[in-house]
Structure formats: structure tokens, C-alpha cells
Amino acid sequence: MRPEVGAHLWDAAEAARLVQEFADGKTEAEFTSNLVIHSAIKRQLEILGEALNRVRRDDADTADRVPDLGKVIGMRNIIAHEYGEIDYEIVWRAATTEIPTLIPILDELVDEARTAAGL
């Protein structure tokens, strides 16, 4: 695994953790009505999607190990470029149900990248 892939994976894992942290203890109504929470989660989803897009570009084999990679990158593109109407129910569901299951996978990949780099 190339060193830059490890850095992208670390960025992705950190963004995913922040999404989970920002959503923790909140309701969907709080997410949609609180601009700070709303903006913070959207921004971290953008970072997550961009980091994984770079993993896909730089190391297809590692990218194939990330479940729903295309969906994560697609959500990033929709949020970043506001293609059409953003469905915030889907964003909230991703933040609260999909991201928590993604974190351990990203952490495992980060650990593999550290080992490959001799860290």
C-alpha cells in the first residue's frame, strides 16, 4: 500500500468518527433544524467521500474492501455540488446507521497501512 493511501484512509476514518460524534445523541429533527450540526455532518461526509475517492484512484484493491464506496463518493458529490435536491433523510440515515459500521473497516485499513509503512 502506498503511503498516500494510508493518509487518505486516515482522513476518511477521522471524518467518519467526527460524523458519528456530531450525530451522537441527536435526533433527525435536531439534525435538520440545527445549522451547526447540519453543516458539520455534511462537511465531514464531504471529506470522507473525497478521501475515499482518492483511495479508489490510488489503490483499487484497497478501495474494493470499502463497502458501498460508490455510494459514499456519490453522496459527497451530491453534497459538494448540490446536484438537485439533497435528501436529508438519506444523509441522516447514512450518518447514523452506515457510518458506524464503516468506522471499524476504515480503522483496520489504517492499521494495515501503518504496518506496511513500518510504523
Q: What is the pLDDT along the chain (119 residues), one digit of tens a residue?
A: 777 899 999 999 999 999 999 999 999 999 999 999 999 999 999 999 999 999 999 999 999 999 999 999 999 988 888 766 788 899 999 999 999 999 999 999 999 998 887 77
Statement: the pTM of the whole predicted model exceeds 0.85: yes
Long-range CB contacts (within 8 A, 24+) of 108-113? 109/9, 109/13, 109/62, 109/65, 109/66, 110/6, 110/9, 110/10, 110/13, 112/1, 113/1, 113/3, 113/5, 113/6, 113/9, 113/10
